[in-house]
Amino acid sequence: MANPVRASLLVTCLVDLFYPEVGVAMVRLLRRLGVSVDFPSNQTCCGLPLFNSGYHQEAARVARRTVRLFAHSEHVVVPSGSCAWMVKKEYPGLLKDDPALGAQAEGLGSRTYELSQFIVKVLGAPDIATDFRGRVTYHDSCHLLRGLGESQSPRQLLRRLPGVELVELPGADQCCGFGGSFSVRLPDVSAAILKKKLENAEATGADCLVACDAGCLMQMSGGLSRKGSRVRAVHLAQVLAGSDSR
**pLDDT tens, per residue, the chain with 246 residues:** 567 899 999 999 999 999 999 999 999 999 999 999 999 999 999 999 999 999 999 999 999 999 999 999 999 999 999 999 999 999 999 999 999 999 999 999 999 999 999 999 999 999 999 999 999 999 999 999 999 999 999 999 999 999 999 999 999 999 999 887 777 777 889 899 999 999 999 999 999 999 999 999 999 999 999 999 999 999 999 999 997 544
How many of the other CB atoms lie within 10 Å of CB of 136? 24
- Domains 6-122 and 134-245 equal at CATH topology level: yes
Strand residues in 168-227 grouped as ranges (E): 208-211
Tell me the β-bridge partners of 78.
Answer: 114
CATH architecture classification, 134-245: 3-Layer(aba) Sandwich (3.40)
Q: Would you identify the CATH topology of the domain 6-122?
A: Rossmann fold (3.40.50)
Domain ranges of the chain: 6-122, 134-245
Would the pTM of this model clear 0.85, i.e. be above it? yes
